[in-house]
Amino acid sequence: MRAKYLKPAILAILYIGSSHWSGLALAQNADASNLYKRSLAATCANCHGTDGKGVIDGGMPLINTLTSEQMLTQLKAFKSGAREGTIMPQLAKGYSDEQLETIANQLGKK
Ligand code: HEC
């Protein structure tokens, strides 16, 4: 008779145990994905300044005035060759469309 009550209790403990760990794994994944997004966007800071708040009159266009959508359009135009430039065409070609989207979402004006 005792085993009948014990079994659900053990199952419950196992369940709580595993959901706790999967919750932790999710949190770690979210951190890693945030870090990935920020490090992709950090490449741009060398020229455009942190978060696109460029150096005014530094010769580099400010990009924090663009919305994510506008930025993605420009990045894709650089990548396809539709828009010419000195640096950006080469740079944009180094990223997948998904990465450009991630960068634009990260840096675009909210
Ligand atoms: C080595 C310097 C350099 C780096 C790094 C750089 N850019 Fe640029 N960016 C430029 C220059 C210079 C231009 C002007 C166009 C050209 O000559 O290529 C420009 C133009 C742009 C424009 C167009 C702005 C407008 O007003 O239309 C966008 C958007 C942009 N960059 C986004 C980015 C993003 C996003 C990154 C990071 C993936 C990045 N840039 C990294 C130098 C840089």
Q: Is 26 exposed, middle or buried (0-12, 13-18, 19+ CB in 10 A)?
A: exposed
Q: Residue 95 Cα, ligand 1 centroid: separation in angstroms?
A: 13
Q: Is the CB of 96 under 6 A from ligand 1?
A: no
Supply the residue whose CA is at minimum distance from atom 41 of ligand 1: 44
| Residues 68-100 pLDDT 10s | 999 999 999 999 999 999 999 999 999 999 999
pLDDT at site 60: 80
Asked if 64 contacts 53 with a C-beta cutoff of 8 angstroms, the reply is yes
| Residues 33-53 pLDDT 10s | 888 888 898 889 888 887 666
Percent of the chain whose predicted confidence (pLDDT) is above 70: 68
